Chains A and B, each alone.
Chain A
Amino acid sequence: MNRTGRIFLAALAGAAVLLFPVVTTTPYYIHTVLMVFLFATMGLGWNLIGGYGAQLSLGHSTFFAIGAYSAVLLMVNYEISPLVGGIVGMVLACGAAVVIGLPCFRLRGPYFCLATIAAGEIARILFLHFQEFTGGANGVPLPFHGDDILTLQFSSKAPYYYLALGLLVAVFVLVRWMEKAKIGRYLAAIREDQDAAESLGVRTDRVKLIAYVLSAAITAAAGVLYAFTVGYIDPDGVASLNLSIEIAVVVIVGGIGTLWGPVLGATVVVLLTELTNMYLGSLRSGASLVLYGLLLIVVVVARPKGLISLFDRAPAASLPKQVGTRVHVA
């Protein structure tokens, strides 16, 4: 496809995304696309550490939960606007990322992954345990006080849709910039060979921590928006291992360590699960997750570089066994 054709297609896609809530009035459809945006955002954030840095984290729901709980509790208990509470949540998530990251980054491979699972589960247990504060397993409902941008409450789904879209675009631009910046190159070096990077003077622990903290902040921001869109949060919904897994799966299905991978992955995974729920959900629960599990298996076995690799212009000639021995600069 030539350049004009691509620009035309991009403009068409952009217009479709912008006009979608105007064309359809079914809240369910708007909500579904909104969830695509949120998962794409979280995927982009996760990719910073999980993809570019190759540190497989399965504990990101903790940051999502910290963002969601901070904003909701500050609003419900102290009437502090989620615009402020959201920032508080993001800062707290960054703090948690430092506390979790500092010890965990000394671990490698499966050990790092298992440690993030343990940290995430500890956070979930604590959210469940401190009931006076978090409402425990019952969760926290968000009473509706009428449309107001300061309280992030709207009777229609459309404003949330545009907020989520805005967040996605902002994070996308940030990650695109980071890919080309110094930190992106350091992360790529760590992914290829951590010891070599270290010997070349890259302070690997610090680089990984920066990427992890940023990715936590992005995940927390998505958590804030999710909480106010849905109007209810509970530990099993926002702090679960399943959510952590889903964030990672979105990126893996789309294409790990690529810019468009998380966006494509979120689109495929969320639409697939929602569509199966819609058409087969009445049959029996579980159908959508069967497909989701199968998709993950098929991608790992047959398309380890994700679905995005289907769009590669030049099919990579037989790759060496260790994928990518060169350092990606751009």
Chain B
Amino acid sequence: MDSTIILQTTLNGLMIGGVYALVAVGLTLIFGVMKIVNFAQGEFVMLGMYVSWALATFVGIGPYPGLLIVAVIMFVGGWLTFKLLIIRIIGKSDEAFILLTLGLSIFLQNITLLAFGADYLTVTTTVKDAAIRFGGLAISLPRLIAFGVALVMVAALTLFLNRTDTGRAMRATAESREVATLLGIDPVSCFAVAFGVGTVMAGIAGVLLTPMFYVYPGVGTLFNTTAFIVVVLGGMGSLTGALVGGLLIGIVEALGGTFVSLDLSQLFAFLIFLAVLFVRPSGLFGRSA
């Protein structure tokens, strides 16, 4: 087998893995702080893509310059979702959260379908087809940017959680809701921030994907399942785990898709996922319960 092909495939997987990591980081943050699984995370990626597309099409602001605007819109959206819906079922069962976010996911996907139709939309940027070449390998520029921004976002989030008061309060809430309350922390406002920030991560991932993916209502489902796999692989609630897990799954999917069979590429990810669940449910970086 040609080693250049293996290297190139690994590189491609690594780059897309950065985006997986970004989606998963949002999901794992929400899980870590609130102990809930958000089934609508993929739909927030999709909404990020649509906002980015709308900015480019109607206002003329491209995906990269519009990153901050999308982030703000997504934070407000996530925060509102929390205040309107999620807050109503705090203290109820895991199942209630799964079902509520599942309903939200179906709703968001189809309201988008109703509003924009099923057409595949594209955003053209100047960097779309640009690539960096070295030693027989090539990295497309949008993928490299996505990878780089994803890493920066994960680093920024880690800093936020470790160095700011809000971040520390969120970590305390993640540790123990009861103790955090005793320390004078309002867990519900921590939940709101966690959900909002988790939504922003998904939205930014959406922006980074717009130059290389079609924008359509069902695109989020691709990322929903992958994000779960990544989060469980890395350990639910672990940021480092989500980052490493995202990169790993990206590489596994790329290698499996190229060297075994394209239609089986997701199979490997699912098999790894089940293996981790059964053998080490706390994941690579999670603390065992």
Assess the A115–B99 pair: CB atoms within 8 A.
no
Write out the residue numbers on chain A whose beta carbons fall within 8 Å of the beta carbon of B232: 111, 114
Instruction: Say whether A128 faces chain B, with CB atoms less than 8 Å apart.
Output: yes
Assess the A54–B100 pair: CB atoms within 8 A.
no
How far is A245 from B266 in the complex, measured between Cα atoms in Å? 20
Instruction: Say whether B160 faces chain A, with CB atoms less than 8 Å apart.
Output: no
Write out the residue numbers on chain B whose beta carbons fall within 8 Å of the beta carbon of A289: 106, 109-110, 113
Write out the residue numbers on chain A whose beta carbons fall within 8 Å of the beta carbon of B281: 107, 111
Picked from B102, B118, B217, B274, the residue with its CB within 8 Å of the CB of A118 is B274
Q: A110-B94, A118-B273, A121-B270 are in contact. Are A297 and B103 (CB under 8 A)?
A: yes
Give the residue name and chain of the A residue nearest to B112 (CB): A286
Which residues in window 35-75 of B have CB below 8 A to A?
36-37
Instruction: Say whether B104 faces chain A, with CB atoms less than 8 Å apart.
Output: yes
How far is A285 from B114 in the complex, measured between Cα atoms in Å? 6
Instruction: Say whether A217 faces chain B, with CB atoms less than 8 Å apart.
Output: no
Instruction: Say whether B117 faces chain A, with CB atoms less than 8 Å apart.
Output: yes
Interface stretch, picked from B85-93, B173-181, B241-249, is B85-93
Instruction: Say whether A56 faces chain B, with CB atoms less than 8 Å apart.
Output: yes
Assess the B99–A296 pair: CB atoms within 8 A.
yes
Picked from B36, B98, B274, the residue with its CB within 8 Å of the CB of A115 is B274
Assess the A117–B228 pair: CB atoms within 8 A.
yes
Q: A110-B98, A304-B96 are in contact. Are A115 and B107 (CB under 8 A)?
A: no
How far is A319 from B108 in the complex, measured between Cα atoms in Å? 32
Picked from A115, A128, A300, A321, the residue with its CB within 8 Å of the CB of B103 is A300
Give the residue name and chain of the A residue nearest to B113 (CB): A286
Instruction: Say whether A271 faces chain B, with CB atoms less than 8 Å apart.
Output: no
Assess the A301–B228 pair: CB atoms within 8 A.
no
Which of A111, A284, A290 counts the most chain B CB atoms within 10 A? A290
Instruction: Say whether A272 faces chain B, with CB atoms less than 8 Å apart.
Output: no
Expressed in whole angstroms, the minimum distance between the Cβ of B288 and any Cβ of chain A is: 13
Write out the residue numbers on chain A whose beta carbons fall within 8 Å of the beta carbon of B264: 125, 129
Assess the B110–A122 pair: CB atoms within 8 A.
no
Instruction: Say whether B111 faces chain A, with CB atoms less than 8 Å apart.
Output: yes
Q: A125-B266, A294-B103, A300-B89 are in contact. Are A107 and B111 (CB under 8 A)?
A: no
How far is A110 from B231 in the complex, measured between Cα atoms in Å? 12
Write out the residue numbers on chain B whose beta carbons fall within 8 Å of the beta carbon of A117: 225, 228
Assess the B114–A286 pair: CB atoms within 8 A.
yes
How far is A250 from B113 in the complex, measured between Cα atoms in Å? 23
Give the residue name and chain of the A residue nearest to B97 (CB): A110
Instruction: Say whether A80 faces chain B, with CB atoms less than 8 Å apart.
Output: no
Instruction: Say whether A42 faces chain B, with CB atoms less than 8 Å apart.
Output: no
How far is A249 from B104 in the complex, measured between Cα atoms in Å? 13
Expressed in whole angstroms, the minimum distance between the Cβ of A137 and any Cβ of chain B is: 9
How far is A159 from B217 in the complex, measured between Cα atoms in Å? 39
Which residues in window 232-290 of A have CB below 8 A to B?
245, 248-249, 252, 284-287, 289-290
Assess the A290–B95 pair: CB atoms within 8 A.
no
Assess the B95–A54 pair: CB atoms within 8 A.
yes
Which of B217, B232, B277, B281 counts the most chain A CB atoms within 10 A? B277
Expressed in whole angstroms, the minimum distance between the Cβ of B133 and any Cβ of chain A is: 34
Instruction: Say whether B278 faces chain A, with CB atoms less than 8 Å apart.
Output: yes
Assess the A284–B114 pair: CB atoms within 8 A.
yes
Write out the residue numbers on chain B whose beta carbons fall within 8 Å of the beta carbon of A292: 106, 110
Assess the A301–B111 pair: CB atoms within 8 A.
no
Write out the residue numbers on chain A whose beta carbons fall within 8 Å of the beta carbon of B274: 103, 115, 118-119, 122
How far is A284 from B110 in the complex, measured between Cα atoms in Å? 10
Instruction: Say whether B263 faces chain A, with CB atoms less than 8 Å apart.
Output: yes
Which residues in window 153-175 of A have CB below 8 A to B?
none
How far is A115 from B232 in the complex, measured between Cα atoms in Å? 10
Assess the B91–A115 pair: CB atoms within 8 A.
no
Expressed in whole angstroms, the minimum distance between the Cβ of A128 and any Cβ of chain B is: 6
Expressed in whole angstroms, the minimum distance between the Cβ of A281 and any Cβ of chain B is: 12
Expressed in whole angstroms, the minimum distance between the Cβ of B89 and any Cβ of chain A is: 6
Instruction: Say whether B183 faces chain A, with CB atoms less than 8 Å apart.
Output: no
How far is A304 from B110 in the complex, measured between Cα atoms in Å? 23
Write out the residue numbers on chain B whose beta carbons fall within 8 Å of the beta carbon of A295: 103
How far is A290 from B105 in the complex, measured between Cα atoms in Å? 10
Which residues in window 112-145 of B have CB below 8 A to A?
112-114, 117-118
Instruction: Say whether B4 faces chain A, with CB atoms less than 8 Å apart.
Output: no
Write out the residue numbers on chain B whose beta carbons fall within 8 Å of the beta carbon of A106: 278
How far is A107 from B276 in the complex, measured between Cα atoms in Å? 12
Write out the residue numbers on chain A whose beta carbons fall within 8 Å of the beta carbon of B96: 300, 304
Which of B98, B103, B225, B228 counts the most chain A CB atoms within 10 A? B103
Q: A125-B266, A289-B106 are in contact. Are A300 and B99 (CB under 8 A)?
A: yes
Instruction: Say whether A320 faces chain B, with CB atoms less than 8 Å apart.
Output: no
Instruction: Say whether B156 faces chain A, with CB atoms less than 8 Å apart.
Output: no
Expressed in whole angstroms, the minimum distance between the Cβ of A35 and any Cβ of chain B is: 18
Assess the B277–A111 pair: CB atoms within 8 A.
yes
Write out the residue numbers on chain B whose beta carbons fall within 8 Å of the beta carbon of A121: 225, 266, 270
Assess the B278–A296 pair: CB atoms within 8 A.
no
6 inter-chain pairs at a CB distance below 8 angstroms, sorted by A residue, are A56-B95, A109-B94, A113-B95, A249-B99, A284-B113, A286-B113
Given contacts A129-B263, A296-B103, 20 further A-B contacts (CB under 8 A): A56-B94, A109-B94, A110-B36, A111-B232, A113-B37, A118-B229, A122-B270, A245-B102, A245-B106, A284-B113, A285-B114, A286-B113, A286-B217, A290-B114, A293-B108, A294-B103, A295-B103, A300-B96, A301-B85, A301-B88
Instruction: Tell me the B residues contacting A by CB distance below 8 Å.
Output: 36-37, 85, 88-89, 91-92, 94-96, 98-100, 102-114, 117-118, 217, 225, 228-229, 232, 261, 263-264, 266-267, 270-271, 273-274, 277-278, 281
Closest 5 pairs (CB-CB, A-B)? A293-B107, A296-B103, A293-B106, A286-B113, A289-B110
